[in-house]
Structure 1
Amino acid sequence: MAKAKKKVDAARADVPVSEDGAFWIEADKGYSIALIEGKLQSRNPKGAALASVPKWLKDSEQAQQLISLGEWLDEHEKQSRDTIEAWMLRSLPVPRSVLVAIWQDPSWKSILTNAVVCSVTGEKLNQQESGFLREVDAKKGAGVIDLDGETQWLKSDSIAIPHPILLDELDDFRALTIELSFQQSLDQLFRQTWKPTKEQLKGNAVEDFRNGKFEALTHALSLCRRLGYRVSGGSACSPVWENGRLTEGRFWVGAEYPEAETYTWDLIFTDDR
């Protein structure tokens, strides 16, 4: 992969950037190729874009290098997104120096842009200093647009991306997102959330999601795998961090014959892992 990237970098240095912002690399027979939005594209010798890449061209060494680079970039974007989402789900303090470093990377920057962030004072979220992340500067701090539509620079040593359930002004942030036409790459403000009732706070189980029907248990298990949940003892399992304490959420999906229909049952939280 490193060799492929070096060769592509060397090639792109000699190729002008086109109007679409792509770096077109000269290939055999007068054709040219480029990686656009993660996909291999080609142009014929006259410069016309082709609907599909000819097989002989797609199988060439240059094209395979670009395809490998695209796969690497896709994986890099996924890892960046997973990391930022983990920070948000746990509302973890992130050193501002880390934000300064990763802001230079287009993948990290695109996911972080417009995320609602706040200062961290001690170990607590300081929501008096919060807003939509728009810029990160080593000297100025984290530049945000606050709820008044004004620019602030957060200068605390650590910055957090709060889980939406913790945002005191969640509705106001949602409204301002629409008003300013901000797009969030990170699933934060409009993420579905639930607050426990007084009765639910007394126990460790939630009954609201009972009786979800699957025609076959295999369908439920496939969905769990696709969403990234481990299944154990008939339950989909997920680690849950709250106030620095780790518990496990377990949602019953069934443990009968794989071909038999199944119904969901309680969502429970337990320390027994």
Structure 2
Amino acid sequence: MGWVAAGDGYEVALVEGRVTARSTAGRSAGRQLKTLPKAVREHPETDRLRRFAEWLDRHAASCREQVDAWMVSSLPVPTGLLARVWPDEAWQAALRDLVVVGDGEDEVGFLRDATPDGELRLVDLDGETVRISPAVVTLPHPVLLDDLDELREFAAELGVVQGVDQIHRATWLRPAELPEKDTEVKEFAGGRFPSRFRLAARATSLGYKVSGGYATTRVRDGGRTVEPAVWIGEPYWDGDSETGALCWRDAEGRQLALREVGPVAWSEGMRMAAALHAGRTVEEGKNA
């Protein structure tokens, strides 16, 4: 975006997401200023750019949220859609270097480009550029990637930084042997917080929903919607609070046996419980 006039002797522009001014007169003409002069701060063009910058931030966040939703639930995404949104810098930042899976076993790699005619260009584990153009692709949840360790090593070699947390996302594998009737996991229960409000605030700051006495998220796993839920205390409790057990519920609200929970729902539920527990009050000193 170019420079626009903002009063006599100044121009403004968005530089790295921030409104910046430069002088257009005198010996300092063309030099960017460290701060905005008062006349520039109050100019309508400055206000317009600020509001535009805020919109760009919201748009970028929306793109990341949508791509994260596709990835967490491993939803099929039309290749043509990726081609259409790719020119948008916010979409490209969210999508670039995500692991994409096409139709065949060899159609796996880090997404590097999407052309207007619907062709995707990937870098595979051999470092080769692969061109694919299936009708749909998936951005798999990392727990479903057989070559996750290799992908992580190769990503480190390439210096890959993903805009959406995929291959370095914390994952948990469901144990192979589980008691038949168990419906709860208590591994991350007992994390104490000074108030129920603080615990609920941590949940919402991490992007989770607070409903009743639970922090919840929704995951599509194996064709069905599953809701992991962690007990965080009664809504109007004004004393200290602590994280409770983790359970999983189906679309009708029925609590699932642990054996019924799929790999993605298990991993995302454990991730939520661990993230809430990590914010607990940690006692210090010899009596901790």
Q: TM-score range by the shorter chain?
A: 0.7 to 0.9
Aligned residues: 247
Aligned to 1:90: 73
Counterpart of 1:165 in structure 2 is 143
Q: Deviations over 1:132-188 (max 9, x none)?
A: 000112447210000011110122110110000100100000000111112111111
CA shift for structure 1 position 200: 4.2
TM-align CA RMSD: 1.8
- In the alignment, the residues of structure 2 paired with residue 252 and residue 140 of structure 1 have an alpha-carbon distance, to the nearest angstrom, of 45
1:154 aligns with 2:132: yes
Q: Which residue of structure 2 aligns with residue 29 of structure 1?
A: 8
Q: Note the residue ranges of structure 2 that are not aligned, 5 or more in a row.
A: 254-288
Name the % identity: 35
Q: What SS class does the counterpart of residue 53 from structure 1 fall into?
A: coil
Q: 2:41 aligns with which of 58, 69, 73?
A: 58
More displaced stretch, 229-238 vs 165-174:
229-238
For residue 232 of structure 2, the aligned residue among 231, 235, 253 is: 253
Residues in 2 aligned to 1:127 and 1:191: alpha-carbon distance in whole angstroms: 23
Q: TM-score, normalised by structure 2?
A: 0.80
Find the partner of 1:177 among 155, 165, 172: 155
Distance 2:230 2:64 in 1: 25
Distance 1:258 1:37, change over 3 A: farther
- In the TM superposition, 1:224-263 aligns within 5 A as 224-255=203-234, 258-263=237-242
Q: Which runs of 5+ in 1 are unaligned?
A: 1-21
Q: 1:140 to 1:236 in 2, by over 3 A?
A: closer
Instruction: Look up the SS of the partner of 2:225 in the other structure.
Output: strand
State how 1:180-219 maps to structure 2 within 5 Å.
Answer: 180-200=158-178, 202=180, 203-219=182-198
**3-state SS of the aligned residue for 1:268?**
strand
Change (3 A) 1:105 1:193: same
The residue that corresponds to 2:57 in the other structure is 74
Could you tell me whether the CA contact under 8 Å between 2:208 and 2:215 is conserved in 1?
yes
- Contact 2:3–2:11 under 8 Å retained in 1: yes
Higher relative contact order (CA 8 A, sep 6+): 2
Match of 1:128 among 91, 97, 106: 106
